[in-house]
Structure 1
């Protein structure tokens, strides 16, 4: 497909060709005509799918002529790195510097930026909180904004910058609103719903990369918050018949303590922490001791300063939290030999972007599992509520106390056989009888 399909000006087609963009991306072919036509658009696509180039082209096409005093396009991005990236894209495609484009972030003083805006500009690329500060000082005039763009919206939500985005969008009430994001979730919907028109088009491009390696069976539980993660973990692992040997990965040793203490009463030695934060918590310093002990069922491991860990032979791998580097998770789920292992990931809305990056890297989707009916889902006010249709559980159950685990080096040859094909692949993907 040629660039002519995007219906760009000859100068923009030439700029794209010179920059090495010879064919349009799917997200460009599906969104460009809608943006140029004035429709509000929510565009969802993975990293490197062409989102930035799409709105840079659309902005240059829609403004048509340059040099007015007040800006006509406002582009909000999550941080200074994204400001620089977007400015580079405009520099690449804004031939002959037709438009005056200004970057606004924390690296400049408010006074200097006020003067730069007053001198006149056509397009502003800004981080939300600094743009809002300039708006409140009456330096940023939003009355002539024609195109209001939010890029990497999922990262803006993750950074807690929803309020300035909403205030600025509402102030530019005459403008067209366009949102680009890698994922959609409830918190993001909550941010954009006050200003997106009901007629807004949602366009999703789901480009999965080529499969690089065989991985274990992947399952994903999407939960609203950390507290619900705790409830889900304890509920699933209460099935001792299925989950007879499990490693649970968290990010810090403090979180490992929190997860451990959340378990209800259990047999001594059944649940333990790997290299515990506190000296008097006698967990395991050697994972082989955990593997060889038939009484040890669940080992909680922190990614913090972990290094290499041999989890071969353990049938269930839980990622309670997504590690900072996706490669950390990926190396644990790459299949070795004929082992049958189930890898289960928990994700909140904020972590869904990391899930997407993992899916791109492994070349396949994680299978989304339904939450159990009897799971206690915690709402935003941290008040436990039952999933609809579930029976009430006893709220008075006590939390298990910390325990002192003896090392089990003298116990040999415990054969848990990768969980009998990971308990028939987690009882046929949770279709329990």
Structure 2
């Protein structure tokens, strides 16, 4: 059937119900990672000196700081509390004792560099009886923008832009970033010694590797300059000359695991925790959930094609589960920008458009994909919805879905259709949520 053919079996009431279910699932994922609900369960023992310094960075760091203040006011009423955390512009919340600084993400700016320098200074000169609590979450790598000696902020900005367009995974990006930094890759932990250091973290990393969350400023780094050089070569990254020279000289390795006697790193929210909450919510709504994984990676476009095949198998054959069903997955896909084809849209929107183009308007399948921080890439939406008539509505609006996919311009399509998922900053981040709803019925291939 042609892409611009009308879907005569489209049911507007079913569509409204499906959209409501998918939005409830997304909201459930965000709520499961809300530091105001979970952080209090992970508090360390109070400091013997009565002094606690709080530092941190990430899209959730301000809300984590506020949640920590509330928890400690009840648990440690006599402890002296102070500190500084860095969050993305527009993500600050009121706090009483911990200072909040806003800076740029995903490309760092001067505000982030200045604040990172203050964070590093805040943990120096402490004693063994002092306590440092580090609050780390996704986005911290760009926000803690303190260049290594001999490098500049402009160098860091150029590298970040190259990495974001390269198709490299988040773990690969962070290996490179660590080896260009004076604070990441365990360097903040080294600076805080001999004080006791406890990290409370929200994971946005596939696999929840502590060394990769915010580029691991408080965790030992097993990666090397050689690893960073290999990633640069693998993706053909064009680096400023002094950055390339810095990586080649490999003069100042990141602190390694053998240099740390103890590491106290506590994950307070993870993608799997969020997906598990979504699965429970799905059962409450009468759906059969299947979690496909919390750490899926790969090209967003290819992931859309694969997921379309899975959804069709559920709809047509009841395999691997029977409808009504909900396929759930997390992780972080990548988008390799085609030369000269950089439109608007993040990885979740590109995934969804590939899914829609592959499904060709299947009458029984809806989907939502979004970043749980509320921002897909650099846009003003968390993600989007697709419905059985997404392609038909796009054609009626004069849009070519396949062309938009090839141009990496999915945002424009969803914006014109009114299918963007706009939540505003959620102030948490457990990476992407993909939810595909399959209702009972025969597949019909309409669009």
Q: TM-score, normalised by structure 2?
A: 0.36
Higher helix proportion (structure 1 or 2): 2
TM-score by length of 1: 0.37
The structure having more radius of gyration, on CA atoms, is: 1
